[in-house]
Amino acid sequence: MNFKRIAGTAVGPVFAILSALIAGGILLLIIGFNPLKTYSQLFSLGVGTYLGLTESFKRMAPLLIMSAGLIIVFKAGIWNIGGNGQFLIGAIFVGGVAPLLVDRVPLFLFFIVLCILGFVGGAAWVTIPAVLKAKYQINEIIVTMMMDFVAINFSSYLVRYPLNAQPGRFPQTILIPLEKRLPNIVFTEIHIGLIVGIVVVILAHYFIKRTTLGYEFRFAGENKKAAFYAGVNIKKVIVLAMLLSGGFAGLTGAIDVLAIKGAFQAEWNPGYAFSAIPLVFLAQLNGIAVIPLAYFFSFLSIGGEFMSRAAEVPVFFVQVIEALMLIFFGVSEYLKKRSKLFCGF
């Protein structure tokens, strides 16, 4: 193991995290909050309590699964910004079909079928952007973003009308009984979706680093023209990368319904993609590095929610920290390249 290389790789993320926290502290001072007190509550509530630790590990699961798909698609040089919409489609598919299967199939098969259904739902939703990009070179950033809005409204229509369990009340699909939801890890209150997330992101890392198809994805992402002349089917890479990314976003929605919510509810959109995108870039698209950073991001999210109640700091302050981390990571990469040019490397 090359510890020098690992240490060099870690410099950027560590610099970004520390700089973002310092800049966030300055912003807190400007708006009238004590940064030391605020950060003390953030850390004490996020990692210093059993509830904070448990909820942080639960929040890791969707971030890990979403990140697995983003690593694959970003390594292929393709942008999928529509993860939230694909999440909602996977979730509404599961929320609508789960009540039909819950008492008709064995529980293990119930979970398998619904997870596959969520994956298929997310992959299906990204098919249009994938085909448009592969066949006509239409910008996938714009199309995936626009499909997000369609997904929000389409899922809202479904849950308010044909899939509404109790018309006239708060719209949601039929609730899955507690005993029919994903079980917890032994001796914990953390559902097994966390294990699924860790396994999925490790498999995505292995796929990109160790398989022939993964090599084609990386080759196409680094230089599409060279990959094309080397015989790589660029259209296949684009479509497969986007389908896998959308599928994992849909699987994220399935896990959240089966483990946490128990139903698809109106106005529900946790926006995991907004955290997963800066997360995977901070991890430099490395699946193994995603795991500890996913915990850090989930801790920030959960600690931020608790902190906003205790210290009356706006809950969106955590999103500001995440944005600052990405900005400072970009600064560190720029400085690294400048230093290499200056030193003549």
State the sign of the Cα–Cα–Cα–Cα dihedral 81, 70, 84, 135.
positive
Return the axis-axis angle of helices 50-75 and 272-282, rounded to nearest 10°: 70
Strand partners, 172: 265
Residue 231 resides in a domain: yes
Return the axis-axis angle of helices 127-136 and 140-160, rounded to nearest 10°: 160
CA–CA dist 141, 27 (Å, integer): 31
Whole-Å CA distances, 191 to 15, 106, 163:
33, 19, 26
CB 76 within 8 A of CB 237: yes
Cβ-Cβ contacts under 8 Å for 279 (sequence gap 6 or more): 63, 67, 290, 293, 294, 297
Residue 11 resides in a domain: yes
List the chain residues with pLDDT less than 70: 1-9, 340-345
86, 203: one domain: yes
State residue 104's pLDDT score.
94
CA–CA dist 345, 161 (Å, integer): 62
Residue 48 resides in a domain: no
CA–CA dist 237, 215 (Å, integer): 11
State residue 166's pLDDT score.
86
Residue for token digits 């912003």?
27
CB 56 within 8 A of CB 296: no
Token pair belonging to 294: 């996913």
178, 277: one domain: yes
209, 330: one domain: no
343, 282: one domain: no
67, 24: one domain: no
239, 181: one domain: yes
Q: What is the pLDDT of residues 120-164, one digit of tens each?
A: 999 999 999 999 999 999 999 999 999 999 999 999 999 999 999
* Nearest residue to 273 (alpha-carbon basis) of 319, 217, 332, 222: 319
Helix (H, G, I), strand (E, B) or coil at 269: coil
336, 204: one domain: no
CA–CA dist 275, 320 (Å, integer): 11
Q: Give the domain CATH number at 190.
A: 1.10.3470
Token pair belonging to 83: 């993860």
132, 280: one domain: yes
To the nearest whole percent, how much of the chain has pLDDT over 90? 79
Residue 148 resides in a domain: yes
191, 327: one domain: no
Q: What is the pLDDT of residues 41-74, one digit of tens each?
A: 888 888 888 999 999 999 999 999 999 999 999 9
CB 65 within 8 A of CB 196: yes
Q: Range of 8's domain?
A: 1-33+313-345
Strand partners, 265: 172
Residue 49 resides in a domain: no
Give the distance from CA 226 to its chain's centroid.
Answer: 31
Residue 50 resides in a domain: no
Tally the domains of the chain. 2
Residue 80 resides in a domain: yes
Residue 106 resides in a domain: yes
State residue 345's pLDDT score.
44
Cβ burial 100-131 (10 Å sphere, 16+ → b, else e): ebbeeeeeeebbeebbebbbbbbbbbbebbbb
Token pair belonging to 269: 């959109």
Give the distance from CA 61 to its chain's centroid.
Answer: 9
181, 232: one domain: yes
99, 8: one domain: no
128, 200: one domain: yes
